[in-house]
Amino acid sequence: MNIESQTVQSIRQGLVRKEFSALEIAKAFLDSIKDKEKDINAFIQVTEDLALHQAKEIDAKISRNEDLPELAGVPCAIKDAILVSGERCTAGSQMLRDYIAPYDATVVSKIKKAGALIVGKTNMDEFGMGASTENSSFGVVKNPHDLSRVAGGSSGGSAASVAAKECVVSLGEDTGGSIRLPASFCGVVGLKPTYGAVSRYGVIALASSLDQVGPFAKTVGDAETVFHVIRGKDPLDATSVDQNLSHGNRDMQDLKIGIPKEYFGEGLNSEVEKAVRQALGKLESMGAKIVEVELPHAKYALAAYYVVNTSEASANLARYDGMRYGFSKRENNDLLASYLDSRGESLGPEVKRRIMLGTYALSAGYYDAYYVKALKIRTLLKQDFEKAFEKADIIAGPVSPILPFKIGEKTQDPLAMYLVDIYTVPANLVGLPAISLPAGTAGNLPVGLQLIAKPFQEQVLFQAGKALELS
């Protein structure tokens, strides 16, 4: 079988027509992983036994003439922050190098029930902190389009594994851009759903008010299918909600795309801008109307994001103390020394930086000045978007201000790394759904177009994305 061109749809057809078996699919993609991993490093762990076992179950269903579930036989990789029962789950950290997940995350149970073949756990920035997957303690993920460049992060492994055809779809997690940015850098589709659309139960938290799990795929249709499999209220996650999803597709002529000038300002690479404007031009030529919108508080979003992110991260990561969770070093009977040794040895520099920043922002004397201020910016930004959505159905702009950069280029400069998130963090702060679509290339490097919609309007993102795909 030709693995290059497989999609959810083509796999289904091939299985129904008995052109190949699920076991053949599993083996072909596991071979592809073996072949490409020495270059890409997208996986922390390959779950060969699990994939083969699931493939046999699908083949048994076919032999019994049973109906096939939505993702039957589709090779799927899972970010290593999402629990798969019985498999190691590291979140890219030495802190969790020996942690075996005792249960499935809700998204994983849903993916399994839908018949997908889980081929492995993907590489990521430690605890999701980063924009390049260089902060992983399991090595850098390389961009399949240029091995000297980063794949983006923090879900770099999930994006690269789809781009390198090591799987057909994957799951990532996006706190401030971690699905959209690597999707953009690797030239694949990546969706961050509305906050609350997808359960976070069994997902290792970075910043709980921002985190959302979403799919990567080669096509918009595949991302849509995976989204519909994983979404929905989960009694195990109180922040998940029942969704009133708007289905029916609207006419492209009725679609208004808002362009915020704040997304096309200083610091935007000219080649990125060109590709994004060309893609928008295509949507316009199909009948969509381009309107100008304003997001006056967007300029504060990055600062607010890094206060909220580090604050929540410092609280969420307190559990990894070598007593309750994680790597434990107890060489003497001193409790404090044991905390310091366990955390000191097994957490990387970016994680330590954020724990310190967040603890500082939440401390009694500074709480109002930093954390409360950041929450106020969050409210103002929400109002900006509400106003903009009075004029437009979708807000569009680049995903990243720059092209995929060279490995090592920004590792010594955390602020330069944070700036890469400038266009992605607003959607997380406000909880809106946002998608990264392949918009074209600059040389051989992919450029992503970002579309943001109103809460629970993922459908309009899929519709515009499919139109662009066909153009």
Closest CB to ligand GLN among 122 and 178? 178
373 is catalytic: no
Q: 435: which residues sit within 8 A by CB, 6+ positions away?
A: 180, 189, 190, 191, 192, 220, 223, 450, 451, 458, 461, 462, 465
The HSE-up count of residue 301 (CA atoms within 13 Å, CB side) is 28
**Which residue of the set 36, 61, 79, 218 is catalytic?**
79
The span from the first CA to the last CA of the chain, in angstroms, equals 28
**Residue 413 φ then ψ, to 5°:** -130, 85
Q: How far is the CB of 131 from ligand GLN (least distance, A)?
A: 4
Instruction: Specify the residue, 128 or 187, whose C-beta has the smaller distance to ligand GLN.
Output: 128
Helices and strands per DSSP (H, E), number in the chain: 15, 13
The residue whose Cβ lies closest to ligand GLN is 178
Smallest separation, CB 401 to ligand GLN (Å): 13
Q: How far is it, in rounded angstroms, from Cα 9 to Cα 16?
A: 11
The residues of the shown chain that bind ligand GLN, judged by CB under 6 A, are 128-131, 154, 174-178, 206, 309, 421
CA 57, CA 31: separation in Å to the nearest integer?
A: 20
In the set 32, 161, 178, 240, the catalytic residue is 178
Measured distance CA(274)–CA(259) in Å, rounded: 14
Q: Note the helical H segments in 164-291.
A: 180-186, 220-230, 270-285
Distance of CA 189 to the CA centre of its chain: 10
State in angstroms the smallest separation of the CB of 247 from ligand GLN: 28
289 included as an active-site residue: no
Note whether 288 and 256 are within 8 A (CB).
yes
CA 321 distance to own-chain centroid: 27
Q: How far is the CB of 11 from ligand GLN (least distance, A)?
A: 29
**Least separation, in Å, of the C-beta of 100 and ligand GLN?**
23
Toward ligand GLN, which CB reaches closer, 6 or 400? 400
Q: Which one from 32, 109, 154, 161 is the annotated catalytic residue?
A: 154
The least CB distance from residue 204 to ligand GLN, in Å, is 11
Q: How far is the CB of 92 from ligand GLN (least distance, A)?
A: 10
**260: phi then psi, degrees, rounded to nearest 5:** -85, 130
Q: What is the largest CA-CA distance in the chain?
A: 71
Strands 117-122 and 142-143: unpaired
User: How many other C-beta atoms lie within 10 A of the C-beta of residue 470?
Assistant: 9
178 catalytically annotated:
yes
Question: Looking at beta carbons only, is 111 or 203 nearer to ligand GLN?
Answer: 203
Q: How far is the CB of 243 from ligand GLN (least distance, A)?
A: 22
Sort strands 75-79 and 117-122 into parallel, antiparallel or unpaired.
parallel
> Which lies closer to ligand GLN via its Cβ, residue 75 or residue 177?
177
Residue pair 127/135 in contact (Cβ under 8 Å)? The answer is no
Query: Which candidate, 350, 443, 438, places its Cα nearest to that of 399?
Result: 438
- Helix residue ranges per DSSP H, 85-240: 106-113, 156-163, 180-186, 220-230
Compare residues 155 and 459 and give the one whose CB is closer to ligand GLN.
155
Nearest residue (CB) to ligand GLN, 293 versus 434: 434
Active-site residues, by number, are 79, 154, 178
